[in-house]
Amino acid sequence: MTPGTIRNPVLPGFHPDPSILRVGDDYYLATSTFEWYPGVRIHHSRDLVHWRPVGGALADTRLLDLTGVPDSGGVWAPCLSYVGGLFHLVYTDVKSYGGFWDTPNSVVTASSVEGPWSDPVPLHAQGFDPSLFHDVDGRSWLVSNRTDWRPGRPWANGIIIQEYDRNARQLVGEPVTVYTGTPAGMTEGPHLYRRDGWYYLVTAEGGTDWFHQVTVARSRDILGPYETDPGTPLVTSVHRPDLALQKAGHGSLVETPAGEWYLAHLAGRPLTPRGRCVLGRETALQRVTWTDDGWPRVEGGVPHDVVSGPDLPAHPWPSAPETDDFTAASLGPDWSTLRRPFSASWASTGGGRLRVHGGRSPGAQSGESMVARRVQHHRATFEATVLFEPRHFQQMAGLTAYYNSRNWYFLRVGFDERQGVVVDVLSSDRGRVTMHRPAVPVDGPVRLRFDLEEDVLRASCGSTEWGPFDATILSDEYAREHDSAWGFTGAFFGLWVQDLTGGGLPADFTAATYKPQL
């Protein structure tokens, strides 16, 4: 058997904060989804080389209510674990961040990773990035960071641990601070592991940007004290702006049946050194070895684009079709919806079309009608046919290249009192909306298209083109540079319908195609 080759990122596009888990011969990666449904995106592999999307775990408001969450709020850094025949999924639903923090944590369980998932059990809200560790003695522990709103103090000032009673489904005792991190600061993203009598605490430090890193500490006692690895960090890109994979940090470990270890971590691929990452924070895998005195090591302490895979049989999955013809009765796993779950109250699919009823404006942060998919390649096209019959200037439908409520492009079918039904482009840059001409009169179904070429975005309808536009406004870096806000997601291509009259006028979409230009 020849081990396969892992080519990073294994989950391209917006897939941050990976929690990796092995159950038997199956490997799972759970990643953050923020304001997008379904909450917590899960991928599946048999060889760590080939991955397929399973879909999202938190698919309805019983499990997750994202109404009104801010941009980059919602689900942060979930953790997937398995014990006693049940998958346990813990997650934070961030309602506010920065200054004061509202970070309620919950846990759900299921016998299958595809669900159905149990009703959420509320945990504490003292911090975010929760994970569950199940010890060999049968006890389980909840680990998270702790936030601090007090002026002049670090907002992430320690890792706390508290026992979780799985039978009673409740926390036991009081949380204990077990680690305060290194001078890199902003200690978060904790995961616990046990190996050769040691408890290993894997954390993220330095902030999820250019100074990000994975830090490891260990203790003989689960409650500490924990000694920081003298060779820390385990992986970082901080001193190597030349590397393709930047922002390396926030990691979790997995062991194969043969004793091979791998680290899943987030990374970003800027278009220029320390430039903007339009695709967002992605997931990569690194091979891990252990020193004679029991510390984990990634070769060179830096992320690698190409990594040797484990000694496992190759297990590729069928390729996903480039075009969704919407013949299925439910959305495929590559689609997401913004702040509200896909439901018959506003959308339906089947019979060769996706029907979406017009929703609220981008600024509403609830009731938006958008079905979108992650942009996963620096060069790609996205197109779909749209049938929409607006009768009012407040009704519009079409394709979007979307980052958040303040930064997007909208290639839309709209209404003009003088020209009737037209196609043009709207853009929002830091919340400032611009109309881009010409406005082209149309009648009946129209084929709309976006072309992304690294930092340039173009829009077209037939022979009419708009652009070039700056694609880098669809990035975390742009949001932080220009809005004094945090951004943690990535670019989406989507199908968007707005009816600001409140009438819910529907649009029909057919043959939605995402095609990478390799």
Active site residues: 17, 188
**C-alpha neighbours within 13 Å on the C-beta side of residue 7:** 2
CB atoms within 10 A of CB 403: 29
Tokens linked to 195: 């190996």
Residue 72, C-beta contacts closer than 8 angstroms, at least 6 positions apart = 34, 35, 97, 404, 479, 485, 486, 487, 488, 489
The amino acid present at 182, given as its one-letter code, is: T
Type of residue at 204: A
Spell out where 148-197 has E strands.
156-165, 170-179, 188-195
d(CA 93, CA 392): 37
Which residues have a Cβ under 8 Å from the Cβ of 484 and sit 6 or more positions away? none
> φ, ψ for residue 341 (rounded to 5)?
-70, 150
| The one-letter amino acid at 336 | S
Give the Å distances, CA to CA, from 198 to 21, 80, 222, 314.
19, 21, 9, 33
Q: Is 252 helix (H, G, I), strand (E, B) or coil?
A: strand
CA distance 436 to 470: 13
Strands 121-122 and 131-134: unpaired
User: How far is residue 39 from each of residues 35, 42, 92, 123, 512, measured CA to CA in Å?
Assistant: 8, 9, 10, 18, 23
CA–CA separation, 87 and 59 (whole Å)? 16
